[in-house]
Structure 1
Amino acid sequence: MATEYAKDQPPGFTNRIERVAIVGASGSIGRYIATELVRTGKHTITGLTRFKGKKELPEGVIPSYIDYDDESTLVKALQGQQFLVITMSVMAPPDTQSKLIRAAAEAGVPYVMPNAYGSDFTNDALAKETGRGNVIRKTLQEIEATNVCSWIALVCGFWYEFSMARGAECFGFDMQRKHLTLIDNGDTKINVSTWDQCGRAVAALLNLKELPDSPGDTSPTVSTWKNRPLYIASFTISQKDMFESLKKVTGDKDEEWTIEHEKSHDRYVRGQERLQKENNKLGYVQMLYTRQFYPNGDGNFGEKHGLANDALGLPPEDLDECTKRAKEMVESGYAYH
């Protein structure tokens, strides 16, 4: 595909993203993306929300009420938008994203950031063995098939505080029981991100020029990641790194914790069995997370592809501060659906 330049665009073209629509702006990651975009003061942010939605949108986000069973409401909400960010709960009906993609194409939205947050879907083995990657690939093909929209997928690894607080199936930590299961030796490093960093990444991306000015312009632009993954991370860390941080935050000693070891493949298979025999959704969570900790480096996409942190000007973060937030989530009784 030939590179597009701002100098070749028709009169009236403004080389920036000004109008952004977000699905799930009141949700887990959507709220952080919306808040960071509003904070820049450079965009008009529209939050697509159901007529009977119960959650309040972040301040500065303009509501546009939709009905997923009436495509005309989706198209109307997306008219004039330049970028659509989709963030959805895992509980959303499977065809919801497809409805949004069709509406975005009809409304002429140039860019879609699909619900593809997490592991590296370009990794064939990882895509197959988690099941998640192939779902994402199908969505990206659907976007490209519109011949109207292009995609940019934010690959951010697991969300750190969320995963620490959610339970033992994720990073192996049960904070309330002070029980830790180390996968293999607990030394495998993976990429993880905070919700804050994800929000900053999207805001930084959309603050860039949309297109390079001319062939001599090598600065990063939104189009740099057109139909490509955008790899970012807060930390590249192991379970042992997480545990050291948690001990700093809590003041705990090793002897206060029960620490067990489980081979990565065995843990993955046990998750499969939980899912298949018990239809236990946590079995899938265990599979998904464990697979990233295989000692072959699949969970460290930054090592393989490089990260866009520097290109986007993302700040370094304090691991202990993030661990403290996870601890506070547990203490407040945080529970995912």
Structure 2
Amino acid sequence: MSQNNYVKKVAIVGAAGTVGTYIVEELLKTGKHEITAVTRKDSQAVIPAGLKVAKVDYEDESTLVSALQGQEVLIITMHIRAPQGTQEKLIRAAAAANVPYVLPNEWSPDMADEAMSTDIILGHAEIATRKLIEELGKSSWIGMITSFWYEYSLGTGPETFGMDWKKRTWTFFDDGETKINVITWAQTGRAVAKLLSLPIQPEVEGGPSLSGYKNKFVYVSSYLLSQKDMFAVVCRVTGTKASDWTIAYEDSTKRFQDARALVLGGDQTAFVKFLYSRLFFKDGSGNFEDRRGLDNDVLGLPKEDLDASTKAAIDRAEKGLKYH
């Protein structure tokens, strides 16, 4: 087993963000990587211990290239509303610095489904990002398909999975039986760490490798659930009964179209409802486990405790915690 067959130097954008902290935590646990947090020169974010820090100016490409020199992997995690062009600047700098692998800011539903990805608008930008990486010809992209983060989504309000915990109301889309893949933040972190722990080239014929995922998607998940599955587990872990809840039903297509009209009209507060309702269409676009298969076993990801994850979501709802 050659140490030269494994990546060591990893740069991450968004190391102090919600999902970034989980990725960093899991990478550090492996003890295999030198991790550099790429952050704005004026950022006040508290970078986790054990990381190097590279301060950059996104208006000065040379600072980005310098930060990425010698890095073998660039992981990009940033808010969907980060300044336009930020990711493109990172991609171009990674190419200039000859970074072999880039994990773009995907962390998303199945972006290989062009109809769905176009419907939710995000697809255009993500396709352009992957195309740019390929055209520059210096890096390969690896797209992490995770779908929605379960703790955040369930606990954030009725715009996502239909649950309003404090009001004890739940809106089921269509019949509430459409299953979609979801993931926990911890499983996302583990997936990245396991992926980057693979040998760069297969060590046995047909064996798993990082290079085997060049310009491909990695499909990882924690649970495959319908809204009614979620409702059942919420009742179980909170001791509530169906009679304690006010239940409503809404057509998923109408919900999506109404929210889409608001978003296109400039009302960005409707974006979450717009995004989530599309994944519950009866076309199965939210269920990539059945359509694509999962890489969980290849990466050695554990089975998780659905009750514990649901309790974490309820705790977030109680405290009114938000994504950051």
In the TM superposition, 1:79-98 aligns within 5 A as: 79-98=69-88
Q: Deviations over 1:249-268 (max 9, x none)?
A: 21111111111000111111
Q: Percent identity?
A: 45
Matched, 1:222 2:210: yes
Q: Partner of 1:46: helix, strand, or coil?
A: strand
Q: Deviations over 1:97-126 (max 9, x none)?
A: 000001001111000000011111111210
Q: Is the 8 A contact 1:273 1:283 kept in 2?
A: no
Q: Is the 8 A contact 1:161 1:322 kept in 2?
A: yes
Q: Choose from 4, 12, 20 the match for 1:14.
A: 4
Q: Partner of 2:112: helix, strand, or coil?
A: coil
Match of 1:298 in 2: 285
CA distance in 1, matches of 2:40, 2:158: 34
Q: Is the 8 A contact 1:23 1:87 kept in 2?
A: yes
Q: What's the TM-score, normalizing by structure 1?
A: 0.93
- Give 1:13 shift: 8.3
Matched, 1:326 2:313: yes
Match of 1:266 in 2: 254
Matched, 1:38 2:18: no
Q: Deviations over 1:201-258 (max 9, x none)?
A: 0000111100124xx6211000111100000000010001111111112111111111
Q: Choose from 287, 295, 299 the match for 2:274.
A: 287
Q: Is the 8 A contact 2:152 2:322 kept in 1?
A: no
In the TM superposition, 1:53-202 aligns within 5 A as: 53-202=43-192
Matched, 1:256 2:249: no
- Give 1:296 shift: 1.6
CA distance in 2, matches of 1:332, 1:169: 17
CA distance in 1, matches of 2:135, 2:242: 54
CA distance in 2, matches of 1:332, 1:65: 33
Q: Is the 8 A contact 2:156 2:320 kept in 1?
A: no
- Give 1:273 shift: 2.5
- Give 1:174 shift: 1.1
Match of 2:223 in 1: 235
- Give 1:43 shift: 0.4
Q: Deviations over 1:166-217 (max 9, x none)?
A: 211111111111111100010000000011001000000111100124xx62
Task: Letter of the 1:128 partner, please give it.
Answer: T
Instruction: Give the gaps of 5 or more residues in structure 1.
Output: 1-5, 7-11
Tell me the number of residue pairs that the alignment of Structure 1 and Structure 2 aligns: 324
Q: Choose from 282, 290, 300 the match for 1:313.
A: 300
CA distance in 2, matches of 1:207, 1:267: 42
CA distance in 2, matches of 1:147, 1:135: 19
Task: Letter of the 1:163 partner, please give it.
Answer: S
Q: Is the 8 A contact 1:120 1:133 kept in 2?
A: no
Q: Is the 8 A contact 1:192 1:237 kept in 2?
A: yes
Q: Deviations over 1:22-56 (max 9, x none)?
A: 00010011111111001100000100011221221
CA distance in 2, matches of 1:166, 1:210: 38
CA distance in 2, matches of 1:179, 1:249: 16
Task: Letter of the 2:268 partner, please give it.
Answer: K
Q: Which shifted more, 201-210 or 46-55?
A: 46-55
- Give 1:274 shift: 2.5
Q: Is the 8 A contact 1:153 1:229 kept in 2?
A: yes
Instruction: Give the gaps of 5 or more residues in structure 2.
Output: none
Q: Is the 8 A contact 1:169 1:282 kept in 2?
A: no
Q: Deviations over 1:264-284 (max 9, x none)?
A: 11111111132234x322322
Q: Partner of 1:170: helix, strand, or coil?
A: coil
Task: Letter of the 2:117 partner, please give it.
Answer: A
Tell me which stretches of 4 or more aligned residues in structure 1 moved more than 4 Å: none
Match of 2:196 in 1: 206
Q: What's the TM-score, normalizing by structure 2?
A: 0.97
CA distance in 1, matches of 2:292, 2:51: 34
Match of 1:9 in 2: none
Task: Letter of the 2:186 partner, please give it.
Answer: D
Task: Letter of the 1:61 partner, please give it.
Answer: L
Q: Partner of 2:172: helix, strand, or coil?
A: strand
